Amino acid sequence: MAVIITEQIEKIYNPDKVPVHALRGVDLEIDEGEFTAIVGPSGSGKTTLLNIIGGLDTPTKGKVYIAGTDISTLSGNGMINFRKDHIGFIFQSYNLIPVLTARENVEFIMMLQKKSKKERDQRANELLDAVGLHDKKNKRPMELSGGQQQRVAVARALASKPSFILADEPTANLDSQSTADLLDMMAELNREEGMTFVFSTHDQRVIDRARRVITLIDGKIAKDEVR
């Protein structure tokens, strides 16, 4: 079943002044359980596409369906609430709330979902164990390495039980060992829990781990290969 469907998405930045055609008609379908990389040269529109799929930005033309919902029908707060329940995000950096510990960061999103304290505790513990941070639960982001912070971000993204997880260059700030560890972990979650991952990257080693690679060039899908 498709969790993400895009129909002829176009995105033009600054349509009035100096228009930038970031996306020129993107048709895409991503099914449950995929482990998909979006690649392409700098400026090809990867971030723009992920932001539109994630409901952080709106397309100039075209439609986006997430888990069957046309997200253009959602208003400001409605969109935020929709993201909370359906989409997990992992950003390049600044993923975490600096004043909260790893455990509290994971709990926070479940608090937004009004989950009980008991459920939050239990799931935060499980997830942090799963991402290999059982001894770092009470550390604040500042006290964690970049790789560890990204693991917390993964745990946080999983905590809300989203339909899929979007990650825009999640390894851009990591060394090669942390990159490999993070990818191992994401791949394992994908294999064992069936969690859908869509991530953008420049890193060939990351691209090699993907099972489907979509290449964007100049705002268009140039290649779409499944391995």
Largest CA distance in the chain: 53
Among 5, 6, 28, 48, binds ligand ATP (CB under 6 A): 48
| Of 89, 68, 81, the residue nearest 158 (C-alpha) | 89
Among 6, 36, 44, 47, binds Mg ion (CB under 5 A): 47
Three-class DSSP category at 188 = helix
Residue closer to Mg ion by CB (options 155, 174) is 174
Which of the ranges 42-50, 65-73, 85-93, 139-147 carries the binding residues for ligand ATP, by CB under 6 A? 42-50
Q: ∠ CA(204), CA(205), CA(206), 5° rounding?
A: 90
Within 8 A by CB and 6+ apart from 167, the residues are 89, 90, 91, 186, 197, 198, 199, 200
Which of the ranges 2-10, 18-26, 93-101, 127-135 carries the binding residues for other proteins, by CB under 8 A? 93-101
Residue 13 interacting with ligand ATP (CB under 6 A): yes
Run of H or E including 179: helix 176-193
**Please, which residues bridge with residue 168 across strands?**
200
As measured in angstroms, the least distance from the Cβ of 46 to Mg ion is 5
As measured in angstroms, the least distance from the Cβ of 125 to ligand ATP is 35
Among 60, 74, 81, 121, binds other proteins (CB under 8 A): 81
Rounded to whole angstroms, the Cα distance separating 64 from 114 reads 27
Binding pattern to other proteins, positions 33-72, x when CB under 8 A? ------------------x--x-xx---------------
By the 8 A CB rule, do 11 and 45 touch?
Answer: yes
Among 12, 20, 100, 180, binds other proteins (CB under 8 A): 100
Residue closer to ligand ATP by CB (options 168, 181) is 168
Contact residues toward Mg ion (CB under 5 A) are: 46-47
